Amino acid sequence: MSDLEKARNILRTTFGFASFRPGQEDVIQTVLSGSDVLAVMPTGSGKSLCYQVPALLRDGVTVVVSPLIALMRNQVASLRAFGISAASLSSANDYAENRAILEQVVRSELRLVYIAPERLAKPEIRDLLKRSRVNLLAVDEAHCISQWGHDFRPEYMSLGALRAELGGAPVLALTATADAATRADILAKLFPQRPRVFVHGFDRPNLRLAMRPKLSARKQVMDFVDAHPGDSGIVYCSSRRQTEELAADLRADGRKALPYHAGMESAARSKNQDVFLQEDGVVVVATVAFGMGIDKPDVRFVCHAGLPKNIESYYQEIGRAGRDGLPADTLTLYGLDDIRLRRMQIEQSDAPESQKRVEKQRMNALISLCEAPRCRRQTLLAYFGESTQPCGNCDLCIDGVEVVDGTIAAQKALSAIARTGERFGTEHLVNLLCGDATEAIMKFNHDRLPTFGVGKEHGKPEWRSIFRQLYAAQAISLDITNYGRWTITEQGRGVLKGATRIELRKQTLGPSDGSKQRRGRKAPLDLGDVDPALYEALRSRRSELAKEQAVPAYVIFPDRSLADMSRLKPSTLEAMAEVHGVGRAKLARYGDEFLGVIRRHLEAG
């Protein structure tokens, strides 16, 4: 039996999955061949299986570098539920427990050990791993190694040296959020030679994308949450005070809503997180302190009460919804106050100027997404270098937006880019178009160009919006690592030459007629031909077991497994084994328990 056939067998018998998801098989096959890999895969695509399956096919231990204790704890609980020997070395354990785990590593009694990068930097840990049979170094959230990444962690920088100390064990780096600049940084800092690189797309088609100008944030958030009764969800806020107030408002409205922010006592924070993970229908109102360690697959909505930090943060935060592949809803509210706040945070940070420039460009890319005149998914994926057809699952595809022919304005902007040699960013080009003879304009003699002052019919805010919309329409491309300069794409050259027309939002080029966008519809949660009453009974029993065992509910079974049970109504262990996500260990541990729920439901008839 080939390694790939063995991997497929483990997938079925241990994890209870009928087949690999797109992208997983290619990565696993390459890892099993002993090659280094960088895999960029969307959230919810099953990145963890890319190292968990090989770990079960090789002697020795797989070391998984993970940035958060909560993430490690939940991953280990999930693996143990599948009957896999795994542990995590962290400050959440006492000394004796960590000592016992290290001894298990040396004796090759563990298949996987999760370690935070800070702990891996300790010489005694590295010395111990050198004496162990490490078969793979898996670096989760690999974007943390890059200064261009949105979650830069200096401790990740030592991982390149660690690989050499471990005798050249192959490295698998995994991330869901890495643009071209971040990917290049990961390659340079983690791998001595170029690895196999798999970029399996950033699209999450099950997520409904929506963005709205902020009118009354409290009412807009309340209305959005009200449209999801009984669902688990996350509401992100920009301040600790807002999380407390919104959580209280939602509780007064009858929802089980809990706050989460860095200013809370650690015990209270952990308790609220555990309730969210173990129970159904809980809404967490949080700052961005909540998230990276949350692997709950059945989050049905994510709402931003204010604009996220940048486009990568937005992508990662909405990505916490619908990890089970079922439909999920997102809404982002934005206003001028958010934009000012985010720009002020960038300016006042201690980051070097080069990093500030990159952050400003990422912020501008997010504003482009807010102002997009067409499908939001097209605009979002374009940032990550991908193209797609209109998705039909965003507010702009469903409700539309009022647009007018913006070809002339676009040609003026594109001409400004072309005549300045595609070397300048937004502010310089806006000054050129508005005829503002700034010091930089005079220095480069750009006041002598035909485009100087050619755009005086629009103000600077309108021109900035036009550039963002041209970016959203893929007519221009942004170089975020080189002073935010704009270059013209092939599509943009067609507009510049008059071969292609382009539409822009009406309110950018002239007064709107005041018509309001229709209220977005909730994405339907289609679980197929399920028995709703049985499904809820199964969810209730799962929640009880999760509380008893102090583990996240999905560790028992994810929603998809329960939906499968309520659809198939198995009556024997053999039939239960055919349910999605029911491997041998879970069948032995929970099979009779859930068969009993099904039997009692059918008898009550």
* Three-state SS annotation for 356-425: HHHHHHHHHHHHHHHCCCCCHHHHHHHHCCCCCCCCCCEHHHHHCCCEEECHHHHHHHHHHHHHCCCCCC
- Whole-number pLDDT of residue 93: 86
Q: Using alpha carbons, select from 217, 180, 213 the residue that is nearest to residue 197.
A: 180
- Domain harbouring 112, CATH code: 3.40.50.300
Q: Is residue 564 part of a domain?
A: yes
**How many other CB atoms are there within 10 angstroms of residue 297's CB atom?**
19
The predicted-structure confidence for 28-84, as pLDDT tens digits, reads as follows 999 999 999 999 988 777 899 999 999 999 999 999 998 878 788 889 999 999 999
Q: How far apart are CA 331 and CA 209, in angstroms?
A: 7
CATH of the domain at 600: 1.10.150.80
Q: Within this chain, do residues 193 and 219 fall inside the same structural domain, yes or no? A: no
pLDDT band at 482 (very low <50, low <70, confident <90, very high): low
Evaluate whether 90 touches 72 at the Cβ level (below 8 Å): yes
Q: Are 458 and 409 in contact (CB under 8 A)?
A: yes
Look at residue 148 in the predicted model and tell me its pLDDT.
63
Asked if pLDDT for residue 522 goes beyond 50, the answer is: no
Q: Provide the CATH number for the domain around residue 502.
A: 1.10.10.10
Do 469 and 412 share a structural domain? yes
Res 515 pLDDT > 50: no
Q: How confident is the model at residue 509 (pLDDT cuts 50, 70, 90)?
A: low
Count CB-CB contacts under 10 A for residue 217.
20
Q: Is there a single domain that holds both residue 184 and residue 212?
A: no
Q: Is residue 14 part of a domain?
A: yes
Interval 194-242: pLDDT, tens: 999 998 878 899 999 999 988 888 999 999 999 999 999 999 998 999 9
Specify the higher pLDDT residue, 131 or 394. 394
**E strand or H helix that includes residue 568:** helix 559-568
Residues 29 and 178 in one domain: yes
Strands (E), 41-127: 61-65, 86-89, 112-115
Q: Return the minimum-mean-pLDDT range out of 32-46, 49-63, 353-367, 558-572.
A: 353-367
**End-to-end alpha-carbon separation of the chain, Å?**
47
Q: Is the pLDDT of residue 484 over 80?
A: no
User: What's the domain range around 156?
Assistant: 3-199
Does residue 388 lie within any of the structural domains?
Answer: no
Burial of 497 (0-12, 13-18, 19+ CB in 10 A): exposed
pLDDT for the residue 523:
42
- Are 236 and 114 within one domain? no
In this structure, the answer to whether residues 416 and 330 fall within a common structural domain is no
Number of structural domains in the chain: 4
- Helices and strands (H and E) in the chain: how many: 28, 18
Residue 517 included in any domain: no
Neighbours of 379 (CB within 10 A): 26
pLDDT, tens digit (0-9, with 9 covering 90-100), for 382-391: 888 888 899 9
Helix 559-568 and helix 532-549, axial crossing angle in degrees, nearest 10: 140
Per DSSP, 261 falls in state -
In a domain, 365, yes or no: no
What one-letter code names the amino acid at 251? R
Euclidean distance between CA atoms 604 and 247, whole angstroms = 38
Question: Does residue 219 share a domain with residue 99?
Answer: no
Residue 278 contacts by C-beta under 8 Å, 6 or more apart in sequence? 543, 546, 547, 550, 551, 552, 553
Residues 195 and 213 in one domain: no
Helix axes 460-472, 426-434, angle to 10 degrees: 130
Give the pLDDT confidence score for residue 36 in this predicted structure: 95
Q: Which two tokens stand for residue 124?
A: 């005694």
State the alpha helices, DSSP H only, in 232-322. Answer: 240-252, 266-278, 311-318
149 in a structural domain: yes
Identify whether residues 90 and 23 lie together within a single domain. Answer: yes
Alpha-carbon dihedral 225, 230, 236, 242, rounded to 10 degrees: 70
Which among 541, 598, 538, 533 is positioned nearest to 571, based on CA atoms?
A: 598
Q: Which of 164, 199, 234 marks a domain boundary?
A: 199
Please report, rounded to a whole number, the percentage of residues in the chain having pLDDT higher than 90: 57
Q: Are residues 173 and 211 in the same domain?
A: no
Residues 174 and 212 in one domain: no
pLDDT for position 330: 97
In a domain, 255, yes or no: yes
DSSP 116-153: -HHHHTSHHHHHHHHTS-EEEEEESSGGGG-TTSTT--
Average pLDDT of every residue of the chain: 88
Cβ proximity of 471 and 380 under 8 Å:
no
pTM given for the model: 0.74
265 versus 176: which is more confidently predicted?
265
**Same domain, yes or no, for 498 and 600?**
no
Quick one: pLDDT band at residue 508, thresholds 50, 70, 90?
A: low
Which pLDDT score, from 0 to 100, does residue 213 have?
83
Helix %, strand %, coil % for the chain, to 5?
50, 15, 40
Q: Which two tokens stand for residue 602?
A: 């059918």
Q: Is residue 527 part of a domain?
A: no
Closest CA to 75 of 83, 87, 67, 63: 87
The distance between the two most distant Cα atoms of the chain, rounded to a whole number of Å, is 86
Per-residue pLDDT at 128 exceeds 80: yes
